Structure 1
Amino acid sequence: MFTSTSSFAQRPGRRDLADRVPDSVQLVADVPYADSDNRRQTLDLLVPKAESDKPRPVIAFIHGGAWRAGDKRQALPRVARFASSGEYAAVSIGYRLSGEAQWPAQIHDCKAAIRWIKANAEKYNLDPDKIGVWGTSAGGHLVAVLGTSGGVEAMDGSLGPHTDQSTNVACVADFFGPTDFLKMTEGALPSSRFDHDSPQSPESLLIGGAIHDHPEKVATANPITYITDDDPPFLIVHGSADPTVPFNQSQLIHAALQEAKVPTTLVTIEGGGHGRGFPPETNNLVRRFFDHHLRGQESEWQDQSLEASEPRVRRPR
């Protein structure tokens, strides 16, 4: 049993976990990747039960929650559909939250998880060179940093027993992740949920003080800081009416990647909110993106806009 100083209210039990994973998929739950007994520093691995004559590519998901909430198990249904296809293995990565540890602890955890995947690739028949990462909100921020900071010693950290492994990833799906904390206020809508400049904002709590008082540390959390022309391809998806993470955050990293000649596609969900109103086509784009970069099923990519879907109306019971 792994323990943590963080609270896990209503944590799913083993039976609940089984309900989240198809029978065709093996779940290896709560695997420690950092040589610790902190349950936040664990991952869940989903591997198809059917044998494969070649190593499978991996989709690693990182959850959101403003770096101060959320649980890796929330993502199991989302990634299980990839593993159930038999064509991918999938991983959901946990990490320490800002109430327990400040930046860069979160990216150090995620990098250690990537190293664990590569070090255990042969055991689980995984392709260590075909790891795609996907995250939403705070998780989108973390996968963006994973994508741009491979080999940056200060971001790689030294957690876990597999420091001989690279932290490079093959592609990045960044869903509405923050990318430049100091420019969030200027892009915020009147309906914004947060005063991003407040000492109590999620960004400030992650950094350990009001963001404008710590610009140098904030720069280390900005994935744009590390962009080079050899970074992996990005798929960026964001709602234009996001009240939580301003849409300009995706525009900023997209422009910076373009300037560096890194393959990048920005999908705007017109009228979409913070992960709300995303039409079904969004999931198809994610699948096609990973198929393109991890399975060699090439397709054309260009920036595009999709109309937000109508919110589902709850029917009275």
Structure 2
Amino acid sequence: MVNKQLDIQFGEADGRPLKLDALAPTHVDGPFPTVLWLHGGGWQSGNKRNAIDGYLLDYLVSSGYLIVSAEYRLSSEATYPAQIHDVKAAIRWLRAESRVLDVDVDRIVVAGFSAGAHLTALAATPESVPALEGNCGSAGVPSNVCAAIAWAAPTDFLRNPAVEDTALNALIGEGDVSGEEKLLGGPVRENPDLAQLANPCAFASPDGPPVLVIHGTHDEVVPVSQADLLVDACEAAKTSVSYLRIRHGNHGGWRTGTPYPSDPGPREIEDWIVRFLDRCCRNKGDLGIMGRHTIAAPIPA
């Protein structure tokens, strides 16, 4: 059984309420290790409900984790860094109002897919970067997390060939301007300083939390080189990192050429995520999950 709570306000931006949904396990007692999930959609589509109804999050709840899916302003509402400000506000709210959902404040993880994974990697940045914090709610409360999971994340826009070919926009039926350009409010190469502020590789730090990076080697939307850059930066900075490469995997982790599925996700990937969470939140399992690993992409039944 799952205890579902919807549309809880965690902050406000320019008069617009920011809300989250929560799925809590009922088979274990709190305070709960908590996963804040950030939806994908190229920063220009999607919403918190897309994630909360997904199989992966149900699986995590069954493993004893409280799942929180938070919305963030899309690029049609505000340009970057508004999105990471919203995410940071959600983390601060979970800590400041921990009693509302019975959150274990020392075991808050941020995770996401695609555009949400990009924001996830940024949210793992230590609080020493004021430009990423914003003031959308719960001022003065720490926004640190104990771990981060970035699945199919764009990272360095200035080194991403997909920025020019708009494959992401074709996938989701949006115009001919890349999601990155819409996010920054102009061409990426004309906004190098803002692009760098949106680059999680630039903020890798030995003080950062452990990071799980998941990416398909045949991702046509976000090149796997984006994951390579993030992992290289983490390793260079002595950040603890687990890199799961999905051989022949597409943007969802399935084998290239198969229909893009939404439910259920590849079980091998889900099991890896739970192993990583258990290692970071419960000190369970072996250290073998860290480092670089490759598995074959599954084929949907």
Q: 1:116 aligns with which of 93, 100, 104?
A: 93
Distance change in 2, residues 1:181/1:34 (3 Å):
same
Match of 1:277 in 2: 254
What is the identity percentage for the equivalent residue pairs of Structure 1 and Structure 2? 35
1:178 matched residue in structure 2 = 154
Measured against aligned partners, the alpha-carbon deviations of 1:195-247 in whole angstroms (never above 9, x if no partner) come to: 9xx98210010000000001011111011121211100011110111111111
Following the alignment from structure 1 to structure 2, what is the Cα–Cα distance between the partners of residues 159 and 69?
A: 21
Alignment of 1:137-176 (within 5 A): 137-160=114-137, 162-176=138-152
Q: Does 1:31 align with 2:8?
A: yes
2:228 maps to what in 1? 251
- Listed as ranges, the gaps of 5+ residues in structure 1 are 1-23, 313-317
**Separation of aligned partners in 2, 1:44 and 1:190:** 34
Distance 2:98 2:83 in 1: 23
Q: Tell whether the 8 Å contact from 1:191 to 1:243 is kept in structure 2 after alignment.
A: no
What's the C-alpha RMSD, in Å, of the aligned pairs? 2.3
1:176-255 matched pairs, under 5 angstroms: 176-185=152-161, 192-193=167-168, 200-255=177-232
For the pair shown, the structure with the greater C-alpha radius of gyration is: 1
Verify: 1:83 aligned to 2:93, yes or no.
Answer: no
1:309 and 2:287 are equivalent in the alignment: no
Match of 2:24 in 1: 47
Which one of the candidate residues 75, 93, 98 is aligned to 1:98? 75
User: Which blocks of at least 5 consecutive residues in structure 2 are unaligned?
Assistant: 256-265
Partner-residue secondary structure (3-state), 1:101: coil
Matched AA of 2:247: E
CA separation in 2, counterparts of 1:258 and 1:276? Answer: 23
Distance 1:229 1:74, change over 3 A: same
Separation in 1, partners of 2:19, 2:130:
22
- For residue 21 of structure 1, what is the aligned residue in structure 2? none
1:132 touches 1:169 (CA, 8 Å); kept in 2? yes
Does the Cα contact within 8 Å between 2:169 and 2:177 map onto a contact in 1? no
* 8 Å contact from structure 2 (residues 166, 176) kept in 1: no
Q: 1:193 to 1:109 in 2, by over 3 A?
A: closer
Task: Name 1:292's counterpart in structure 2.
Answer: 279
Query: Are the aligned partners of 1:199 and 1:209 in contact in 2 as well (CA < 8 Å)?
Result: no
On the 8 A contact 1:63/1:138 being kept in 2, the answer is: yes
Structure 1 CA distance, aligned partners of 2:165 and 2:129? Answer: 37
Contact 1:151/1:167 (<8 A) preserved: no
Whether the 8 Å CA contact 1:188–1:246 is kept in 2: the answer is no
CA deviation profile, 1:226-281 (whole Å, cap 9, x unmatched): 12111000111101111111110000010000001111111111111111416421
| Greater RCO (Cα-Cα under 8 Å, separation 6 or more) | 2
Q: 1:193 to 1:121 in 2, by over 3 A?
A: closer
CA distance, structure 1, for counterparts of residue 99 and residue 236 of structure 2? 37
Q: Distance in 2 between matches of 1:148 and 1:305?
A: 26
**What's the TM-score, normalizing by structure 2?**
0.87
Amino acid at match of 1:214: N
Specify whether residues 172 and 45 from structure 1 end up closer, same or farther in structure 2 by C-alpha distance, changes over 3 A only. same
Letter in 1 for 2:297: A
Deviation at residue 310 of structure 1 after TM alignment? 2.3
Number of the residue aligned with 1:9: none
Amino acid at match of 2:298: S
Indicate whether 1:73 and 2:49 are aligned: yes
How far the C-alpha of 1:164 sits from its partner, in A, is 2.0
Q: How many residues align?
A: 282
Residue type of the alignment partner of 2:295: L
CA–CA distance in structure 2, aligned partners of residues 123 and 74 of structure 1: 23
TM-score by length of 1: 0.83
Aligned match of 1:10: none
